[in-house]
Chains A and B, each alone.
Chain A
Amino acid sequence: MLGGYAHRIARINLSTGQVEYFAPDPKDLEMYVGGRGLGVKYVFENGPQVDPFSPDNLLAIMNGPLSGTRAKMSGRLAVVTKSPLTGTVTDSHMGGWTAAKLKWAGFDGLLIKGASEKPVYLLVKDGEVTIHDASDLWGKTTHETCRILRERHGEGADVMAIGPAGENLVRFANWINNDERAAGRGGTGAVAGSKKLKAIVVVGTHDKMPQPKDPELWKEADRLASATINDPKNVTAPKKGGLSLYGTNVLMNITNVMGALPTYNAQHTCIEGAEKISGEYIREHRLIKDNTCHACPVACKKMVEVHINGKTIRFESYEYESAWALGAHAGHTDTDWTGYAIYLCNAYGMDTIEAGNAIAVLMEATEKGYYQGEDGIRFGDKEGEIRVLEAIAYRKGVGDMLAEGPARFAKAIGHPEIALEVKGQSIPAYDPRGLKGMGIAYATSNRGACHLRAYTPASEVLGVPYKTDPLAWEGKGKLTKLFQDLSAFTDSLDLCKFSQFAEGPEEYAKQLAAYWGRPVTPEEILRIGERIYNLERYYNNLAGWAEGSDYLPKRFLEEPSDCAGSKGQRTELDLMLEEYYRERGWEKGVVPPAKLQELGILSQAADD
């Protein structure tokens, strides 16, 4: 029996109230590991044709074999489902302690189907899942819900909740846990809302921590992983490295200088005053303390304080993506208003990236006269932005249209070209005219535009694992495949993406081998990642995302960048796609049967 697992998954049917338990198939664990990979396998088996808001859609809450162990940076929890935003399979991850506590409570995952008639929450404790009435919580923000449920079930309880946005089926609603970490993208919170599932409470204590099958190998594996994460020269080094000191938002000034920061809905590629919403500025002027997740020495999370209209608001998550989306992308760099907008998105339970794009699209539509409603807003209108965020969460006025996602909104007003989307999901904070790799990474991401499937700025900006020219397209297809496969694997362990700034396949293989109790090679790790990526693509192909689905918004292909660092640049998508498909062995974005067989996907699907 492979180590690291609780060997118990709950199947919860919210229509009938029935809860069943089963041990995951060992073959599935070896092929898909856990977290994202195993979640995708279960969502695939549930069928790619399902309507995301139907009771038949499966919502999988998964941890991995290293969750709840002492493995460094192992605090991530995967939420996997069919996305109501994109119609693709999607997975989104949150930090904190929820993943660890789910393992300690006796579970590798929760598979939720059906839909309750009245609001409910789940209590996960001592190897059992029970369903409880949540009528009193319906309508409350994520912060209120987490507080009430922790008071009810004790401070040791961990809570993840949806907010009003999820209840109102905002297609980019998310999950927020009591540490204010978000499983942000793809609308997984809206799927919960469609099932009337308000929250999940997990109670578990660390005395249930799984032990490695090979303790001697674990000592060595943990020593190496810790040493490289803590290496004072690495960006992950606690209290020294740039990622530890400033968090993700250390990137704001960098991308701005490179002309790789999409601003004013990507009509420009930099903004005056980016410093005011940068990690450096926030650390100096707004930081309260550095928070962390389970088993993480890096502590990239920043508790901050902002001041609005005489009120002080304390919150976490002044992240790079959020600060860009709700600040620079909306045409301003106001430290406090941007922070307030982030805080509100978390309270309503909405993805900050998609919400920021919704705001930016509305601003461009208003300025160009494409939207002429009284509730239109212009770039830089900070108070208007706050009003529209609330309107989205509660589906009022133009907010009701925007709650369908910026792509659907832009199409509805007859100007689809102003939505910066791929497969229905909007871009994050990197302009692919200044970072060419991001262009191919966005286009080929299986969950729609995304920086976390293949983080090419690691190479293009940071020289990890080797430096590439951000403005050159050559080699980016190959690089993207490597990053996609590596991340599909680490998302299945489920380790933090930041671990990849210090660890590689050798370190991951050693840690997994120590827990599994059998040898694991670095080659096997990339093979598993490749299998997961292909299974996702196969799902999408079957769900209707076939040839021609790997595209970029026209703006990046036709309108040149206007800022220093990338001035005059456009994205050469066709050239990169050709290289990428060659590396993948795909035919115009479609996985051929031979590839599915080579990776063991098709034969296993047939066996099942």
Chain B
Amino acid sequence: MPKVNLYATFRDLTGKSQLEVPGATVGEVLENLVRAYPRLKEELFEGEGLAERVSVFLEGRDVRYLQGLSTPLSPEATLDLFPPVAGGALGRTFGAFPPWLLERYLEEWGGVKEGEGVYRLPGARVRFREVEPLKVGSLSIPQLLVEVEVEGEAGEAWFERIALAASRGGG
């Protein structure tokens, strides 16, 4: 049965980070997901189509670039569902950016720890947690989901600052 990884506010709406959902296409899996968690309906769909602001990935590829809701799924397939990042929170999953390093910078910038993975900064609250590492061939790259609750311009500036600190490349 296909697996569905849920991120950010989708976890709050379902109380789960991963589910197994039956279906032979992306559309069938999402319909079955909505049947189990009706609050997801307006997040995922606009009419009969996939909501523009939501991101659904199959093996790292946005299904919009595949066959959309008709994209066939094998029983071993894994879908990643990301909520929209705009409207209340800015979020991004950063690769190779360890949580202890982000904590170190949040403290340096005057952040106050409110709980595990939650920091208060002037004008913003930052939440972060490790999610499933990205596995590609013999490589495994740790992934850190970071969300900044935006409270005006300060929140956006903090998000940019975190994104700059997380900038990496390679070669």
Contacts and interface: CB of A to CB of B under 8 A. Distances in A.
Given A458-B170, A502-B96, A463 B143 contact: yes
Interface stretch (B35-43, B67-75, B115-123, B131-139): B131-139
A498 B95 contact: no
Interface stretch (A8-16, A102-110, A228-236): A228-236
Which 6 residue pairs are nearest across A and B when measured between Cβ atoms? A497-B171, A463-B95, A458-B170, A242-B139, A464-B95, A254-B137
A50 B130 CA distance: 53
Contacts of A467: 60, 93, 95, 134
B17 to A, nearest CB: 18
B98 A233 contact: yes
B167 A462 contact: no
17 contacts: A224-B104, A228-B101, A233-B142, A234-B96, A234-B142, A246-B138, A250-B137, A254-B136, A462-B95, A465-B94, A466-B93, A466-B95, A472-B65, A501-B168, A506-B165, A522-B167, A526-B164
A587 to B, nearest CB: 26
Interface string A436-457: 0000000000000001101101
Q: Which of B95, B138, B167 has the most CB of A within 10 A?
A: B167
Contacts of A251: 137
B168 A280 contact: no
B10 interface: no
A279 B93 CA distance: 28
B77 interface: no
A185 B96 CA distance: 28
A228 B104 CA distance: 12
Contacts of A234: 96, 98, 141-142
A134 interface: no
Contact of B169 (A250, A464, A506, A522): A464
B97 interface: yes
Contacts of B142: 231, 233-234
A596 interface: no
Contacts of B92: 466
Interface string A233-264: 11100000011011000110110010000000
Nearest to B66: A471
B109 to A, nearest CB: 11
A462 B171 contact: no
A280 B140 CA distance: 14
Contact of A250 (B98, B138, B143, B164): B138
Interface string A255-296: 001000000000000000000000110000000000000000
B97 A504 contact: yes
A400 interface: no
A245 to B, nearest CB: 7
A465 B167 contact: yes
A255 to B, nearest CB: 9
Contact of B139 (A250, A482, A483, A523): A250
B118 to A, nearest CB: 21
Q: Which of B96, B97, B98, B136 has the most CB of A within 10 A?
A: B96
Given A465-B95, A466-B92, A505 B165 contact: yes
A458 B165 contact: no
Contact of A486 (B65, B100, B141, B169): B169
Interface string A501-521: 111111000000000000000
Given A254-B136, A466-B166, A505-B164, 10 more contacts: A242-B140, A250-B137, A451-B171, A454-B169, A463-B141, A464-B95, A469-B60, A498-B170, A523-B164, A526-B164
A466 B101 contact: no
Contact of B137 (A253, A452, A463): A253
A464 B168 contact: yes
- How many B residues touch the partner, as a band? 20 to 34
A500 B169 contact: yes
Contact of B105 (A231, A471, A500, A506): A506
Contacts of B98: 228, 231, 233-234
Interface of A: 224, 227-228, 231, 233-235, 242-243, 245-246, 250-251, 253-254, 257, 279-280, 451-452, 454-455, 457-458, 461-467, 469, 471-472, 482-483, 486-487, 497-498, 500-506, 522-523, 526
Contacts of B168: 458, 464-465, 500-504
A240 B166 CA distance: 22
A246 B138 CA distance: 9
Contacts of A245: 138
A571 to B, nearest CB: 15
Contacts of A486: 167, 169
A158 B138 CA distance: 35
Contacts of B93: 463, 466-467
Contacts of A483: 169
Given A250-B137, A250-B139, A451-B171, A501 B164 contact: no
Interface in B50-104: 60-62, 65, 92-98, 100-101, 104
Contacts of A466: 92-95, 166
Nearest to A251: B137
A233 B140 contact: yes
Contacts of A228: 98, 101
Contacts of B165: 504-506, 522
A38 B169 CA distance: 22
Interface string B128-157: 000001101111111100000000000000
B84 to A, nearest CB: 16
Contacts of B166: 465-466, 504
A455 B170 contact: yes
Given A257-B137, A462-B134, A506-B165, A487 B171 contact: yes
A35 B141 CA distance: 30
Contacts of A501: 96, 168, 170
A500 B134 CA distance: 17
A504 B167 contact: yes
Contacts of A279: 138
A469 B171 contact: no
A466 B167 CA distance: 9
Nearest to B163: A465
Contacts of B136: 254, 461-462
Contacts of A254: 136-137, 139
A500 B65 contact: no
A523 B51 CA distance: 36
Contacts of B141: 234-235, 462-464
A72 to B, nearest CB: 15
Given A233-B142, A506-B165, A465 B137 contact: no
A86 B65 CA distance: 37
